[in-house]
Every structure is written in structure tokens, then in C-alpha cells.
Amino acid sequence: MNAPVMPETLAAPLPDALLDALQRMFGTRLSTTLPVRQQHGRDESVFDVPPPQAVVFAETEAEVAQAVAACAAHRVPVIPYGAGSSLEGHLLAVRGGISLDVSRMDRILRIDAEDLTVTVQPGVTRKQLNEALKHEGLFFPIDPGADASLGGMAATRASGTNAVRYGTMRENVLGLRFVNANGEIVRTGSRAKKSSAGYDLTRLLVGSEGTLGVITELTVKVHPLPEAVSAAVCFFPTIDAAVRTAMQVIQIGVPIARCELLDANAIRAVNAHDKLGLKEQPMLLMEFHGSEAGVAEQAAVVQEVAGEFGGEAFEWATTPEARTRLWTARHHAYLSGLQMRPGCRAVTTDTCVPISRLAENINASIAEVEAAGLPYFIVGHVGDGNFHMAYLLDPALPEELATAERLSAQMVERAIALEGTCTGEHGIGLHKQAFLRDETGDEAVAVMRAIKAAMDPLGILNPGKVFAV
């Protein structure tokens, strides 16, 4: 069992000299008030950890560098903070320290439309970026659901609904600037589409969860808005039928842009929340991007495959307004799902397996949760082999948390046996450290620790995350 890492005892008080130094740098942008600290010490995870001891709001890269250097001088932890939408305890101050909020670093620095790249500060959110891009006929595809910051999305190697076609942050970040543990600024990558120049520090930072550096600038790929976009929902007699349709669509090479699963529980939740009147059956929500002819061709293939698995009641949407209505179901699923059990907290799984093993993983996971009797719902990026099962827990019943953790551990064990991963897109954080070891082995974790020790010898950068240093 993968018990959550327990927070350490309360950290020592912050040194006065550090607070004085931060006060000089940040003035009123240093806060030690409890509400601000609490806001920076709370996330979607189930952990109850004391908030950071102070919060600073950086507005420039130089300020990030100064803050990290000051914390290094006093050996005080620094926890980067973007939009606060991470799910695995990434932002929790388990060793005390300073929350370094970069959300005010929210400028889009350059849009290079001819090269399909943009350069942004880390606090820019994906919706903000897409709003600016649409005037250029471009879009940024990574959509993890929340309106996350791009710095945070890079730090957790986020992906989401469009990853099946456009890849994840791993594929879409071309270069970075970050502040290292000494407070120095490091540049990685370039605006070239490919490079063989030395170690791939860009992709080492992507997914490093704030433990190797504080990202201060990102250059990411963007894409031309497709000439035609078509979305469809389709309902299936069973989850298995929906999943097998998704599997076959991927296996025959349809370049589908989105391929999302909602189970009947999730549909019931969004129907209750948004009065959508959808059939309360397993549903695939798909989107096709391309030329008019290409989209029609893809849609026809998918419709045929779905038909073979009993898929019916196709509903198509080609205008932005009609697509928005269909996507409401997906985008509201998580919050609607939580409202199915008022006052509940959720433990959400994130396994990802090779596409041929997806039905096996989902079917077994459903059998286990049904046997355990916990309320749950499923949403999934099934085109990637990734899905989320949310267990809805009554916080007053600690045995439910234990049950959810047991079910989650069983699912992860199975995903690893199926040659998959414990986390497709949420990251390790506090919650999955034992799973990381199970998945990749002691030797790989030892290499990760050696890199961490080399790049952050004092252990001040988001300590206790990925592995307990």
C-alpha cells in the first residue's frame, strides 16, 4: 500500500534575516498573513499540511532569482506556485518554507506566428494564451481541464484532452529559462524545432515538479487553427464497448484530436448539474481537426468502428457554439461529480497503459470499486490509454480513505504489470512516491536522486516531492 507521505513536524520559524531580506525585495508583495498562506497551502489533494510560512509574489525573473538566492542563503525551502491547480500535493509546504507565487508573471512575451512558437512568462494560463492566439489563427492545444499556468503545466508534464493528437508538455515545450538552486538563470533549448545540442535540460525540467528549478519563461509550440473542426458524442451499451471503440480508432491510425470517455455516473452528474439531458450511458466525446474533407473522412471511419461496438445516437457539432455545449459535459464532469456526494473529497487515479491493455485496466478497476461499494465516476483520455477514476469519500469516515487508497494501489499495480505508468499526467507529488519506485525500480530512482542532489545540493527546491529527499 502506498500510504501518503506524512508531513514532517512543524518547520522551524523563518529566520528574521530572511524575512527582512524578502521584505526589502518584495515590500507589500511579501505576505505572512494566514489567509494568504492558507490559500497557497491548499490544493485538490487529500493531505492536511500546515501552510507555507510566507508567500512572495514575484513580478520578474530577477525577483525569482533573488528570492531563491535568499532562501538558499538561509537553507529555507522554496515552493513555486502558479495557479494552484495541481492534484498530488505538489504545492504543499511539507518542510515549511516560502511559497514563490509567479502568477503575476503573466505576460505573453512574443507570438512568432510564422514559426508556430510563443514565448510566455510562467504565470500565463492556457485560456489566456488561447485568447491571445485566436486573433492569429493559432491555438495552444494542451488542455488539462483547469485553467492552469503554463509554468505549472510544464512542471507537472501536463497533458489533457488534445494530447492524443498534439502531444503533452513534453512534446510542446521547445525551451525554457529557469532559476536554479543558487539563484542563477539557466537557458535551455532554442526556437529551433529540433536540436542535438547537449543534454536535454528542457525535458529534464518538464515534469520535475519544481524540485530542480523555478521556471521563469517558456517557449512552446502552437498550432494553426484547423480549417475544419467537428465534434461528436456517441453512446455505448457498455464501458467496454466504448473503450474498445477508442482502442480501435487509435490502432487504425485515425488522427483524432480528442477522444474522451465519460461513464454513466459522470453523465448523471453533468445532467444533474447542467441539465444537459444526455443519455445516461457510457459516452465517447470525440473531436476531429483537419480540412473539410479530412474531417469528414475521419468521422466516417470512426462512425463505422463505433457501430461495430454498438455505438449509437451520434450527435454532431460543427459550429463553435454546438461544440461548446458538447464539451460542457467533459469540462464540468469533475466538479459535477463531486457534487453527487455533497461534502465529499475525491481521490483521483491517473494510470496510463498501452492502448491494447486499456479495456483490461478499466474493466478490472470497475469490478474492484463496485465490490468495495465506494461511490465513483470515470472520465478518461482513452485515446492515450489514460483514465481517471474519482473515488468520492466522506471525510468523516477515515475507512473510506483507506479503501480508496487500497483500490488506487491495486489499479497502479495492475497498470505497471500491463507495462503502463502510475501517472499519465498528474505527476508524483506527495502521493505516488512509492508507486514511482514500484514502476521504475530503485536504480532509476537513485539516478533521479543523484540528479536532484547535483542540481540542488541544499535540498531547498520544493523538498519532499517526487521522492522524500
Identify which of residues 248 and 339 has a Cβ nearer to its own copies in the complex. Answer: 248
Identify which of residues 121 and 168 has a Cβ nearer to its own copies in the complex. Answer: 168
The residue ranges of DSSP E strands in 332-443, in sequence order, are 345-348, 376-381, 386-393
Identify which of residues 114 and 399 has a Cβ nearer to its own copies in the complex. Answer: 114
Identify the bridge partners of residue 228 per DSSP, sorted by sequence position: 290
Cell of 441: 525500480
Q: How near is the Cβ of 209 to its own copies at its closest, in Å?
A: 9
Helix H, strand E, coil C: the string for 167-187 is CCHHHHEEEEEEECCCCCEEE
* Sheet containing 185-189: order of strands: 108-112, 117-120, 214-221, 173-179, 185-189
> How far is Cα 36 from Cα 53, in angstroms, rounded to an integer?
10
The residue ranges of DSSP E strands in 227-344, in sequence order, are 228-235, 258-262, 283-290, 312-317
Q: How near is the Cβ of 461 to its own copies at its closest, in Å?
A: 13
Cell of 454: 547535483
Q: Is the dihedral of CA 131, 132, 137, 142 positive or negative?
A: negative
Q: How many residues does the chain have?
A: 469
Q: How near is the Cβ of 458 to its own copies at its closest, in Å?
A: 14
Q: How near is the Cβ of 113 to its own copies at its closest, in Å?
A: 8
Identify which of residues 86 and 121 has a Cβ nearer to its own copies in the complex. Answer: 86
Q: How near is the Cβ of 390 to its own copies at its closest, in Å?
A: 18
Identify which of residues 128 and 159 has a Cβ nearer to its own copies in the complex. Answer: 159
Distance of CA 240 to the CA centre of its chain: 26
> How far is Cα 269 from Cα 276, in angstroms, rounded to an integer?
10
Identify which of residues 171 and 240 has a Cβ nearer to its own copies in the complex. Answer: 171
Contact 63, 101 (CB under 8 A): no
For residue 253, count other CB atoms closer than 10 A to its CB: 8
Q: How near is the Cβ of 270 to its own copies at its closest, in Å?
A: 25
Identify which of residues 32 and 190 has a Cβ nearer to its own copies in the complex. Answer: 190
Identify the bridge partners of residue 80 per DSSP, sorted by sequence position: 100
Q: How near is the Cβ of 5 to its own copies at its closest, in Å?
A: 14
Q: How near is the Cβ of 416 to its own copies at its closest, in Å?
A: 8
Q: How near is the Cβ of 157 to its own copies at its closest, in Å?
A: 4
> How far is Cα 148 from Cα 126, in angstroms, rounded to an integer?
6
Residue from 169, 103, 105, 100 nearest 427 by CA: 169
> How far is Cα 422 from Cα 376, in angstroms, rounded to an integer?
19
> How far is Cα 63 from Cα 104, in angstroms, rounded to an integer?
12
Identify which of residues 55 and 201 has a Cβ nearer to its own copies in the complex. Answer: 201
Identify which of residues 98 and 353 has a Cβ nearer to its own copies in the complex. Answer: 353
Q: How near is the Cβ of 392 to its own copies at its closest, in Å?
A: 23
What is 32-52 written as a DSSP string? --HHHHHHTT--SSS---PPP
Contact 411, 372 (CB under 8 A): no
Identify which of residues 33 and 291 has a Cβ nearer to its own copies in the complex. Answer: 291
